[in-house]
């Protein structure tokens, strides 16, 4: 009885009021997420713990989940952006058009959810691995990862994981990504913090940036509506 009282009076208020620990540099991928060193994908500790629970449950149903991308640094995102930008420029697109092509699937450095250590791209371990992993058709109908997709649709939210770029036709921004999941309990707080801090406003003001301020609404907020509640 005494221990129940202790939990009620001391621990619950602590849990309710405990603050999310995150710096601006963590939001934009210039610093490793907290607890990242304890796992190979550099995810935040609570995210990786929740992932392992989900992975174990899926394994009991015969599905082996594999992470292909967890944390991504600002530098890595810059390299992706620059490579694609140069490719489109060479094909004759102007600055603005090149950026528009890139943001079908990739985001401007500093604005990726992969910077947060809460988001991951996953596939299923299968015998015949397709050469291109992260394409929607692998996750649908008879695709190589269709079992994983069905399992995640049924169970992932119970473990805190939500699809970010859903098939919802009213959603704007990045294309449908049936492989990209986020750990909602943490990422919801980080998004709130990021928008409040105006870190994205700062990034989008950079001279080299060909995107306009609509990018906030169309792309950064163009996510599963359950993640904005």
Residue of this chain nearest to Zn ion (CB atom): 180
Residue closer to Zn ion, measured from CB, 98 or 112: 112
Q: How far is the CB of 94 from Zn ion (least distance, A)?
A: 27
Burial 35-48, CB ≥16 within 10 A → b, else e: bbeebebbbbbbbb
Identified binder of Zn ion from the candidate list 42, 149, 171, 180, rule CB under 5 A: 180
3-state secondary structure of 81: helix
Residue closer to Zn ion by CB (options 97, 218) is: 218
Task: Restricting to residues 101-160, name those near Zn ion by CB under 5 A.
Answer: 121
Shortest Å distance, C-beta 114 to Zn ion: 6
How many angstroms separate the CA atoms of 97 and 99, rounded? Answer: 5
CB of 181 to Zn ion, least distance (A): 8
How far apart (Å, rounded) are the C-alpha atoms in residues 200 and 179?
25
For Zn ion, the closer CB: 180 or 193: 180
SS3 content of the chain, % helix, strand, coil (to 5): 50, 10, 40
* Residue 219 in contact with Zn ion, rule: CB under 5 A: no
> Which residues in this chain contact Zn ion in the complex, by CB under 5 A?
121, 180
């Amino acid at each position: 009885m005494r221990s129940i009282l202790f939990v009620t009076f001391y621990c619950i208020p602590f849990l309710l009021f405990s603050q999310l620990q995150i710096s601006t540099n963590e939001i934009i991928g210039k610093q490793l997420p907290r607890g990242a060193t304890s796992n190979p994908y550099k995810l935040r500790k609570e995210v990786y713990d929740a992932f392992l629970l989900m992975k174990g449950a899926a394994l009991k149903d015969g599905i082996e989940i594999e992470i292909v991308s967890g944390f991504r640094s600002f530098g890595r995102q810059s390299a992706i952006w620059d490579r694609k930008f140069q490719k489109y420029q060479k094909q004759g697109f102007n600055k603005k058009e090149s950026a528009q092509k890139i943001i079908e699937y990739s985001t401007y450095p500093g604005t990726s959810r992969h910077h947060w250590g809460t988001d991951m791209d996953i596939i299923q371990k299968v015998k015949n691995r397709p050469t291109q992993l992260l394409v929607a058709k692998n996750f649908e109908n008879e695709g190589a990862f269709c079992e994983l997709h069905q399992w995640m649709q049924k169970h992932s939210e119970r473990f805190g994981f939500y699809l970010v770029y859903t098939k919802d036709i009213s959603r704007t921004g990045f294309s449908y990504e049936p492989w990209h999941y986020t750990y909602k309990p943490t990422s919801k707080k980080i998004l709130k913090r990021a928008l409040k801090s105006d870190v994205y406003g700062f990034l989008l003001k950079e001279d080299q940036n060909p995107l306009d301020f609509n990018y906030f609404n169309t792309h950064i907020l163009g996510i599963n509506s359950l993640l904005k509640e």
